[in-house]
Structure 1
């Protein structure tokens, strides 16, 4: 165990699942991977529930060493003064945005079918019209549109004049049918019955500290542009609310990232250094978009690393998420297991059925230090490594971020001309 390859070549093993019940080795391994990625000039996207000081320091120092300080973007809703702006609903597909945003409607009224297809179709049609008209919008605008018939009518009139006969306008007319009264007018009470919960959630995301980050028509961070430009991004997507709805914002962020990668798969040239996406909290991955990200064809554009304490911890978040990770990740990295049963579980990934040496390998894993690990790629390439050798454990001073230069919008330059909102 003294001749361990510091990185064990795990960084080149495609999409990866890293399991560490103590998190010490996992953090050092990921820090080493991030440092190597930054020094190679590649794009980095780190997504977590909050900004962790040690991770932020790793990114700041990596950028300083590589002379890439200008590439760093930090989205931190907890500290708007030093955060860059980000609008996750601005550039994704209308259908994707609508399906994700509709999750915000609280299922409090059993008499209302919040899953009715028409409910989501109206939001999708509004977004399609906004994108067709090249009209920037935000969470706050979406919340206002679905509660203000006058705003929807004004948007329809704008699109009819600028893009007559367009598919987006036809989609909007069709989606509005269930919300018209006997006189053919858009009915406020019908809109309110379906969208009051959504409007409240969108206003929450578009005002206050969150609004300082998300309510932007010209955000600092556009994920597909950041990947092309090789930017280094640390994005905090916090839990909002309680229960199943708490991770809705994170689902929108993941969907936005999946759409960004999809742009490359659909025709962009693969970069010399594929982007590296790191999810520091597996709970934030509980979304079908993660399955899209972990597709094998994406590896030449972006490698995805998902870190978690254990398979059980992932399963507690979502059985589907665990199955996606196990079926789509090409590399697995296991740090020291806490129990014999966990070691035996890891062996199922490391040794083919009937293979020799299971007892000795289990003993080796149980004797690991906190930073030693064993990795397997493509089900057969097994390597041993030590994360400590890949990343110095020396203590670093906390990173100090400058206040970004904020872009202020001219009034009535986007969807605010219809909704009367105030973008930052």
Structure 2
């Protein structure tokens, strides 16, 4: 395992290695530098003269007349400077260079456990955040490809190495990230604790059902997160609240039966009269006096044709068209997760990944969001994961014994593409559950697009802020304001000279007057300037960052790149998905074609007795 500073490489070096590797130093650069040194200037001249003088005085001719240390000292003084010039490429390759020359604060005092985020460029000291301050969360901002994911990988590697858990939600679906995280786990002997949720490639994914566990209100809240905010529209809010009532009622009924359900099952139940009639008949027969049976009957009664209309052949039956008008939007979202590639991952009654159990057991979970190819579906999937995560946080708050002993790390890369307003509350609650958050975005607009209040809450609830090269002027100015200002003394000196000459042209006698004057002034004034200017933040090198810690400490950092040796990579091999064995659980299984045929209108007439009992 290697820690190497991220540096700029030549085109030849990039071709030889992958985008995540740093080429070793080429010793031939020193040889070329010696021939292309180009000596000149007073310092180089003095060094050459000193070296020549030392060589001359070492001659036997001067033996006895010159102390022995004089030629040695002269040669040493001259050769030191020249050697520094020749070896400068070697120094620049390994030295922690800074593009902004900002002096770092003293390294923070840390306890026995924490995570290193980088090395201070001026002192070379490792900057470590202890666990207590990790709980106050970390916010990372920077352009794509300048070090955000590298910084996250560094912290995740240390987290895996010390036995902690990781939730990595990747908003850009980079399969190299999956492989890297798997290699970290394999290297640390924790491959059996590594899980992948990848709806873009079900063959490289574990199964996951985020609506299977939790009480009906919690499950409904996760599903309602798929619907945009409706606070500003009374009409839209009516449909959202109607969807909430339907979900809570039907999920309660499903859980009462003891049968497992998935997205496809809920989509069928919200869209098919026969399936609802069968569910009601099951509850009435098995649990006639239960709250779930009573609530389901009352709910379905709102969607039935009037039973006292003798002219209506559908009297007493469920009006499917009315249900579709009210619940059609939710049905469409559920159907997306129940079919195709999403269905292969999420249509399960025995999921490999249970997020609460994963956090409790310090597991490593990678969540891939195919935001480019499936923008809407991937964003909704991310919201479902975050909804499940919120439930897990609430359960951990209530069960102290289940909280992870090592702080659980949640790294949200490109977070602006899938979070919503409710996510900001997690920052206030996660600490008490033993979890710390690390969102990474490219600009502050990624969060402001959700709402100004949301962006303010995220900024205000992150004690550690790590800035890489920023491409937006507005974000750079905001970051510079957050880092703060300090007093500096501006000195100025002015000098003036004047001369004058005059002569009376009307007088015959010659006469003239001359005068001259000169003056100097010196002034000092104090003024506030940014500790790190917006222009400096926009000019940071790749792998270089500025960290604001606890609102007052500033560090100019170089982030080391963690890499596995080629020999170890070959030994680890390709990714192997860990498939735990769970007991078999019976579910509604509406995706079974034979079972689904019973509910299709093309195979049976839609009949019922009007009291909730199916007659087909």
| TM-score normalised according to structure 1 size | 0.85
RMSD, aligned α-carbons: 3.6
1:79 aligns with 2:250: no
State how many pairs are aligned.
418
Task: Give 2:251's aligned residue.
Answer: 127
Task: Give 1:180's aligned residue.
Answer: 304
Contact 2:166–2:363 (8 Å) recurs in 1: yes
Task: Specify whether residues 113 and 261 from structure 1 end up closer, same or farther in structure 2 by C-alpha distance, changes over 3 A only.
Answer: closer
In the aligned structure 2, how far is the partner of 1:198 from the partner of 1:401?
36
Q: Which protein has greater RCO, CA pairs closer than 8 Å, 6+ apart?
A: 1
1:2 aligns with 2:122: yes
Task: Give 2:32's aligned residue.
Answer: none
Q: Secondary structure at the match of 1:115?
A: helix
In the aligned structure 2, how far is the partner of 1:160 from the partner of 1:293?
40
In the aligned structure 1, how far is the partner of 2:541 from the partner of 2:373?
38
Task: Give 2:548's aligned residue.
Answer: 376
1:415 aligns with 2:576: no
1:69 aligns with 2:240: no
- Residue in structure 1 matching 2:406, options 273, 285, 288: 273
- Residue in structure 1 matching 2:293, options 139, 162, 169: 169
Contact 1:100–1:248 (8 Å) recurs in 2: no
Task: Give 2:64's aligned residue.
Answer: none
In the aligned structure 2, how far is the partner of 1:50 from the partner of 1:366?
23
1:181 is displaced (CA, Å) by 1.9
| TM-score normalised according to structure 2 size | 0.60
Task: Specify whether residues 372 and 113 from structure 1 end up closer, same or farther in structure 2 by C-alpha distance, changes over 3 A only.
Answer: closer
- Residue in structure 2 matching 1:140, options 257, 261, 264: 264
Gaps of 5+ in 2: 1-120, 308-315, 489-526, 598-616
- Residue in structure 1 matching 2:353, options 215, 218, 221: 221
In the aligned structure 1, how far is the partner of 2:250 from the partner of 2:468?
48
- Residue in structure 2 matching 1:15, options 125, 137, 152: 137
1:139 is displaced (CA, Å) by 0.6
Contact 1:91–1:256 (8 Å) recurs in 2: no
Task: Give 1:94's aligned residue.
Answer: 216
Q: Secondary structure at the match of 2:556?
A: strand
In the aligned structure 1, how far is the partner of 2:452 from the partner of 2:469?
23
Q: Secondary structure at the match of 1:42?
A: coil
Task: Give 1:283's aligned residue.
Answer: 416
In the aligned structure 1, how far is the partner of 2:536 from the partner of 2:371?
38
Matched ranges for 1:6-405 at <5 A: 6-9=126-129, 12-13=133-134, 14-102=136-224, 115=239, 117-183=241-307, 184-239=316-371, 247-269=379-401, 270-298=403-431, 300-316=433-449, 318-338=451-471, 342-351=475-484, 358-362=529-533, 365=537, 368-388=540-560, 391-392=562-563, 400-402=574-576, 405=579
Q: Secondary structure at the match of 2:176?
A: helix
Task: Specify whether residues 113 and 66 from structure 1 end up closer, same or farther in structure 2 by C-alpha distance, changes over 3 A only.
Answer: closer
More helix by proportion, 1 or 2?
1
Task: Specify whether residues 128 and 241 from structure 1 end up closer, same or farther in structure 2 by C-alpha distance, changes over 3 A only.
Answer: farther
1:300 is displaced (CA, Å) by 4.8
